[in-house]
């Protein structure tokens, strides 16, 4: 049996700097459970937690990691588990944490809770052999999925569903430009656009990634080069109309191109700022084209149950699935962080827990 261990950010530093340490897996309090993790998946948030965010102090020391799946090992006194789960069941984690009693939580908008936080960012996360989470954050694992797939699913599919369905209100027949089609959230978005009856134009950084986007159902794939030429190509593909929805998560570098390719009356939804958080743009473009801009951060926890219901309809041929690029061992978590930062892979980076 492996002794419990975790990785800790004791002070902010470069990717790969969290340190391994042994720890005693604590008993869960009422309403919480302890999960013996079998797999965890990395997100960009792991890198931002490790490196620190200006003006956003984190509760160091901290164990990063927002996504994970494993076995329910212990249940707090009086805790009621979600449907389909019991002690000893396999489960995956919904990473968003909220109070559950404020007006936003009671109407289902838990991601608008004043205390909202993400596992591995607001409290200790899944870069460990064991993790404590609220029972309400557990979900059953889809039929025929392994722990690695389950760990790679929640954060990116919740984010993409919220952006496409509830922020952009995507309609069948509409076209979506997906920046970063090779990322975890980008690969989720391509599949969801197709499942929702839309057409995806994916933008990637290499020809190798382009082939993978075709396989996921993209209608067109563009290898990112000079942004002005890319914008012209998007207009050509859409009969000079532009796209109805821009799926933004890259930030400052691509922002003006997103405005340029957005159709009149179109929507831009953004959830990230990987290339920079500050940008300027011509307001005349915004109001003359009547573009709507929506910010998005995670999504309602109930959306994950909706996604599970869609998967349950056809377990042998699911309409979408997490894309896993590489699996490390949990002991290699620092190396997995460095691999994610390099940005050369396609899809999610996962660590298997011994």
Q: What is the pLDDT of residues 11-47, one digit of tens each?
A: 999 999 999 999 999 999 999 999 999 999 999 999 9
* 258 Cα distance to chain centroid: 21
The pTM for the full model equals 0.96
pLDDT reported for residue 254 = 93
Q: Which domains does the chain have, with CATH numbers?
A: 5-153+322-352 (3.90.180.10), 158-295 (3.40.50.720)
Backbone phi, psi, residue 337, to 5°: -60, -45
Burial of 278 (0-12, 13-18, 19+ CB in 10 A): exposed
Q: CA angle 76-77-78, nearest 5°?
A: 115
Render pLDDT for 171-187 as a digit per residue (tens, 0 to 9): 999 999 999 999 999 99
Mean pLDDT, the chain, whole residue set = 95
Strand order in the sheet with 243-248: 220-223, 199-204, 175-178, 243-248, 262-270, 292-295
CB atoms within 10 A of CB 177: 30
- Under 8 Å CB-to-CB from 221, ≥6 apart: which residues? 181, 201, 202, 203, 204, 210, 213, 214
- Evaluate whether 332 touches 351 at the Cβ level (below 8 Å): yes
pLDDT reported for residue 208 = 86
Grade residue 119 by pLDDT with cuts at 50, 70 and 90.
very high
Q: Average pLDDT, stretch 125-135?
A: 98
Render pLDDT for 247-259 as a digit per residue (tens, 0 to 9): 999 988 999 999 9
- Evaluate whether 261 touches 234 at the Cβ level (below 8 Å): yes
- Evaluate whether 127 touches 64 at the Cβ level (below 8 Å): yes
Grade residue 59 by pLDDT with cuts at 50, 70 and 90.
very high
Asked whether residue 1 carries a pLDDT value surpassing 80, the answer given is no
């Amino acid at each position: 049996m492996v002794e419990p261990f975790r990785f800790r950010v004791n002070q902010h530093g470069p990717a790969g700097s969290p340190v391994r340490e042994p720890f005693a897996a604590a008993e869960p309090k009422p309403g919480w459970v302890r999960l013996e993790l079998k797999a965890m998946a990395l997100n960009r948030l792991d890198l931002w937690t490790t490196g620190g965010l200006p003006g956003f102090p984190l509760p160091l020391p901290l164990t990063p990691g927002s996504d994970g799946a494993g076995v329910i090992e212990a249940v707090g006194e009086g805790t009621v588990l979600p449907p389909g789960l019991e002690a000893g069941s396999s489960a995956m984690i919904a990473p968003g944490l909220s109070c559950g009693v404020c007006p936003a939580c009671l109407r289902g908008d838990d991601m608008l809770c004043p205390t909202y936080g993400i596992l591995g960012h607001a409290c200790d996360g899944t870069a460990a052999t064991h993790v404590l989470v609220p029972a309400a954050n557990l979900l059953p694992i889809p039929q025929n999925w392994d722990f690695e797939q389950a760990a790679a699913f929640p954060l990116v599919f919740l984010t993409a569903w919220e952006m496409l369905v509830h922020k952009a209100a995507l309609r069948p027949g509409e076209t979506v430009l997906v920046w970063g089609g090779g990322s975890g959230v980008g690969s989720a978005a391509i599949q969801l656009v197709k499942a929702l009856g839309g057409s995806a134009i994916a933008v990637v950084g290499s020809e190798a990634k382009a082939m993978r986007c075709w396989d996921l159902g993209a209608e067109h794939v563009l290898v990112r080069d000079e942004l002005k030429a890319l914008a012209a190509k998007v207009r050509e593909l859409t009969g000079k109309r532009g796209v109805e929805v821009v799926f933004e998560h890259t930030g400052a570098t691509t922002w003006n191109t997103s405005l340029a390719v957005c159709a009149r009356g179109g929507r831009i939804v953004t959830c990230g700022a990987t290339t920079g958080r500050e940008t300027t743009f011509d307001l005349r473009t915004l109001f003359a084209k009547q573009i709507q801009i929506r910010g998005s951060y995670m999504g309602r926890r109930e959306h994950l149950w909706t996604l599970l219901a869609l998967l349950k309809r056809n377990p042998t041929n699911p309409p979408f699935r997490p894309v896993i690029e590489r699996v490390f061992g949990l002991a290699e978590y620092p190396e997995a962080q460095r691999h994610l930062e390099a940005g050369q892979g396609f899809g999610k980076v996962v660590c298997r827990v011994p």
